[in-house]
Structure 1
Amino acid sequence: MKKINYTPAALLRALAAFLLLLLLHNQAVAQIPQDVTAKLDAYLSAHQAQGTFSGTVAITQHGKTVYSKGFGMADYEATIANGPDIKYRIGSVTKSFTAILIMQLQEQGKLNVHDKLSKYLPDFPNSDKITLQHLLTHTSGLPDYVMLWKDVNTKPATNQQIIEFFKDYALEFEPGTKWKYNSTGYILLGRVIEVVTKKPYDKVLARQILKPLKMQTAGLEFSAPVAGLAKGYNNDGLERKAARYIDMSWCHAAGAMYATPADLAKLDAALQTNKLLNEASKKEMFTPVMKNYAYGWVVDSVHQTQRISHSGAINGFKANLIRLPAHNISITIMSNYESQQINGPISSDITAIVMGAPYEVPVARKMVQLSAEQLGAYVGEYQVGPKMIFKVTLEDNLLYVGAAGQESFAIFPEAEDKFFVKVAPAQVTFEKDADGKITKMLMHHKGKVMPAARLN
């Protein structure tokens, strides 16, 4: 090989070019901070101590696991710990898998997302108005059957039986004109997949995604028990109790999957390549149509980078798959607590920790005892705006706050006139006049304050 002699000036130019490329690379691809393990441990341990998190968190970058750890118990009665090998229900993250299956069928020429639903389900009401894209993007106008299923979802049902259950409900708006999240559309997409492939949805899911990606601990849960599945719990800040039973067949293509964090990391890795879909299909699937919602994915930005994600919630479980493609990072959060914080503040803070951005560690708060007479002074109605009134009620020596038509939450005294919320990073304070009468309630959340004037 011919030897090349570099002059000092040429060497300096080459070194400068190399350093510039290195700088540009580091700007483009953020590296997860070295102290991420210590920060995540401290943050998640604090939430576990407060009863707002129980589950497993896993982080990968460039296909390598950076963090994977469980907190709390997968089964509190049997004292089985949470960890990377525990399976969790992932709820609506299932929708992302269903969207991928639809795009695969489009690549194969077996359907088109702009097809009318009537092409596949001609007997379904309004199917000539609704396209597959409407179903994928929550713009169909169909009501959410999840809001209607409480009295029937404890017994097994086929996909067709679920469709029969909701098919006669009227549209809430003209298809394509508005956005409203619903699981109904994905039940119909699951049925479309079955009609087109002439195979059950779970078989198509296994053949097209789970087996190629070697997702051996993922699947679709119907009525049969799943070995190694965590037990789901509700925790309202007062007590931990087993979640209400649901027969998972009612969730089908909209939310019946279970998985481990490693399974979802494999999905992220595959979407970084063309193993499941070609570039054109991925571009279409990840392009928002309305309200940052694409085809089975939420696409927005966080910390100056694109975020592609989907969350799930189902009777005692919460899940979130967060993809940061520019940095080849995936964040998987799986919980067997139906805590309101998991798909909100906890997901946001974990992302911030991974990206080296500011975040808040939950503060340990101690409850003090107030007399029934002291607590009774806060009971009443408080008005935020012309159409929003909050009621403060007293039950079993605890105060509850709730707006009309919404579930109330308990507030716990840490001082007179000062209360904290266990199910969310929020506080409630009260103001008095010169005579000591309560005149105002103030709700504090992440530096913002919402005042509410007392009405009675």
Structure 2
Amino acid sequence: MRTTFAVLISILVFFSCQDKNKNASLSANKPANIPLKIDSLLIKYEQNGAFMGSVILSQKGKTIYKNTVGYSDVETKKKASTNTRYRIGSVTKTFTATLVFKAIEEHKLGLNQTIESYFPNIKNADKISIAHLLQHRSGVQSYTKDKWFFENRTQYISSEDMLAKISTYQSDFDPNTQAEYSNSNYFLLALILEKIYNSSYDTLLQENICKPLGLNDTYVGKEINIQANESYSYSYDKKWLKFPETHLSSAKGTGSIVSTPKDLNRFFENLLTGKILSEKNLLLMKDIKDRFGMGLFRYKINDRQGFGHRGRIDEFRATSIYFAKENLTFTLVSNGSKMDINELYQEIIKVYLNDALVEISENDLKNFVGVYVSQSDPDDTVVFIQDKNVLVNFIKNEFKAPLVYKGNNRFVLEQMYAESISFTFSADGKQMVFEQSGGKWDYIKE
């Protein structure tokens, strides 16, 4: 059970706008003030110098909300718009994974095929499979951990030089024994795609994904071109400062794509509704092991489950998620932020979902405060404290996680990149059931 709480630690992802377009409205069954609430959030953060970027929500291919705040070029005061093109960082990986699965469907690759014929100099190449690369289970060290990369990231680096550098790394672990995020995995996958098709990654992207889906603003980026409606990225130190751009030669297949929120929504909706890959392969992409799917992450917001990916490159950040039950696709892309983007998009999604909070009195909450001991392992305890009318999970006497009350003595610890944890108490508070990922454990109050 102790390992369950480890998922609370943030996952570091390396590769991982003001347009007042009010003619797009949210779906008719939502309160009319929801667009105004989201607008006010974005405007507030823009005015505080905390955020520049673009947000879009769509259902069944129809845009139901969009807005952009900030500048694509601060120096010239060029306003960003909903058509501004941004670097999307590691969201690129979902495109790469999709291309790999299309190659598998064309019998050009096998999921369990090992990579020694492509990269004989990679450590453990005879044990590393295509599946291991897709799911970050290869043990190949991420080149973004290498000081050499950050010293050279703004310069052109050939694929041959990148491969040579990756080939010098020792394995972080034996293949398939654990998982660790590595940009090297997806760089290698992109090279494999180029070899088996004898074509460039950009051409494969256009022919197999962009043209069929009509993604006219999605492509492999080059040097940022403001005249082509692309955006710079910015850090903040009393004012917005242009961030030196990474040369995307080093980000092939792992963080090299430029796109718009609208294109990203279209891509993720088509992918996750089965319009690009077979049902079998889509299920494989969504199969989560040690936090990672094959080109996808699983997200949980207010007990709702979605799949998507997030990314960061330079000061660009992007997140796209598709929620199947709600038929809702969401994308947020930022080119400058002082705040945690995760908090912003959770806030936006919660406003849209319009979930009413269930109230509980401070007096009733007292029943559930205390230490609960697992009936199967006396060393496994869960601690709850009270902050006014909020129950707080106190983890290892240092991490405080406020819980959301769902009614009927049930509280939920929401986690963005892992399954939510549910705590259901008996009415007298003497017993508690801990649930996560389909598992249930019984606890008794000390």
Q: TM above 0.5, one fold?
A: yes
User: What CA deviation, in whole Å up to 9, does each residue of 1:118-170 have, x standing for no partner?
Assistant: 13323333211211111111111122211221111121123232111222111
Match of 1:290 in 2: 290
1:150-161 residue pairs with structure 2 within 5 A?
150-161=150-161
Could you say which residue in structure 1 is the equivalent of 2:20? none
CA contact (8 A) 2:225 2:231 kept: no
Question: Which residue of the partner structure matches residue 39 of structure 2?
Answer: 41
> Which runs of structure 2 are paired with 1:125-274 in the superposition (5 Å)?
125-148=123-146, 149-223=149-223, 225=225, 227-236=228-237, 238-274=238-274
2:111 maps to 113
Q: Is the Cα–Cα contact under 8 Å of residues 56 and 68 in structure 1 kept in the other structure?
A: yes
CA RMSD of aligned residues (A): 2.4
Judge conservation of contact 2:311–2:318 (CA < 8 Å) in 1. Answer: yes
* Structure-2 change in CA distance of 1:357 and 1:51 (3 Å): farther
Q: In the TM superposition, what is the alpha-carbon distance from 1:241 to its structure 2 partner?
A: 0.8
- Flag the 1:144–1:74 CA change in 2: closer, same or farther, 3 A: same
Aligned-partner Cα distance in 2 for 1:178–1:123: 22
CA distance in 1 between partners of 2:178 and 2:356 (Å): 35
Specify whether residues 307 and 131 from structure 1 end up closer, same or farther in structure 2 by C-alpha distance, changes over 3 A only.
same
* CA positional deviation for 1:225: 3.7
Distance of aligned partners of 1:347 and 1:204 in 2 relative to their CA distance in 1, 3 Å threshold = same
Q: Given the superposition, is the C-alpha separation of residues 272 and 312 from structure 1 closer, same or farther in structure 2, using an over 3 Å criterion?
A: closer
Q: Deviation at 1:182?
A: 1.6
Residues 376-429 of structure 1, C-alpha deviations (whole Å, 9 max, x = no match): xxxxxxxxxxxxxxxxxxxxxxxxxxxxxxxxxxxxxxxxxxxxxxxxxxxxxx
How far 1:348 moved relative to its partner? 1.3
Distance in 2, matches of 1:30 and 1:175, equals 50
CA spacing shift, 1:31–1:131, aligned 2, 3 Å: farther
Q: Residue 74 of structure 1: which of 64, 72, 80 is its match? A: 72
Aligned to 1:280: 280
Whole-Å Cα distance in 2 between the matches of residues 337 and 358 of structure 1?
A: 31
- Tell me, in whole angstroms, the C-alpha distance in 2 between the residues paired with 1:275 and 1:41: 32
What is the identity, as a one-letter code, of the residue corresponding to 2:328? Answer: I
What is the SS of the residue equivalent to 1:313?
strand
Range 270-279 or range 44-53, more displaced: 270-279
Residues 160, 191 of structure 1: 8 Å contact kept:
no
Equivalent pair of 2:123/2:140 in contact (CA under 8 Å): no
- Residue 446 and residue 39 in structure 1: after superposition, are their counterparts in 2 closer, same or farther (change >3 A)? farther
Q: CA deviation at 1:245?
A: 2.8
**Hey, what's the Cα distance between the residues in 2 that align with 1:350 and 1:446?**
19
Instruction: Tell me what 1:307 maps to.
Output: 306
Moved over 4 A (4+): 29-33, 442-447
Give the deviation of 1:33 after TM superposition.
4.6
Q: CA deviation at 1:35?
A: 2.7
What is the CA-CA distance between 1:104 and the residue it aligns to?
0.5
Equivalent position amino acid for 2:302 in 1: H
Q: Distance in 1 between matches of 2:142 and 2:73?
A: 31
Residues 34/175 of structure 1: CA separation in 2 closer, same or farther (3 Å cut): farther
Deviation at 1:445, TM superposition (A): 9.2
Supply the distance in 2 between the matched residues of 1:223 and 1:84 (Cα, whole angstroms).
21
Deviations 1:49-92 (A, max 9, x none): 22221011001012111111111111111111122110001000
Q: Which runs of 5 or more residues in structure 2 are unaligned?
A: 1-26, 358-397, 404-446
Over 3 Å counting, the alpha-carbon distance change for 1:104 and 1:30 in structure 2 is: farther
Within 5 Å, which residues of 2 pair with 1:43-62? Answer: 43-62=41-60
Answer whether contact 2:154 2:244 (CA < 8 A) is retained.
Answer: no
Q: Deviations over 1:337-374 (max 9, x none)?
A: 154511x2112111211211379xxxxxxxxxxxxxxx
- Corresponding position of 1:14: none
Give the Cα–Cα distance (whole angstroms) in 2 for the partners of residues 445 and 230 of structure 1: 37
Instruction: Deviation per CA, 1:209-238: give whole Å up to 9, x if none.
Output: 0111111111001347471111110125x3
Amino acid at match of 2:235: N
Percent of aligned pairs with the same residue? 27
Aligned match of 1:329? 328
Q: 1:326 to 1:124 in 2, by over 3 A?
A: same
Instruction: Give the C-alpha shift of residue 202 in structure 1.
Output: 0.9
Q: Give the AA of the match of 1:120.
A: Y
For residue 417 of structure 2, what is the aligned residue in structure 1?
A: none
Q: Structure 2: how far apart are the matches of 1:31 and 1:171?
A: 53
**Contact 1:223/1:249 (<8 A) preserved:** no
Give the number of the structure whose alpha-carbon radius of gyration is greater. 1
Aligned to 2:317: 318
Q: Is the 8 A contact 2:128 2:138 kept in 1?
A: yes
Tell me: CA distance 1:358–1:173, structure 2 relative to 1, closer, same or farther (3 Å). farther
Distance 1:101 1:130 in 2: 19
Deviation at 1:446, TM superposition (A): 7.3
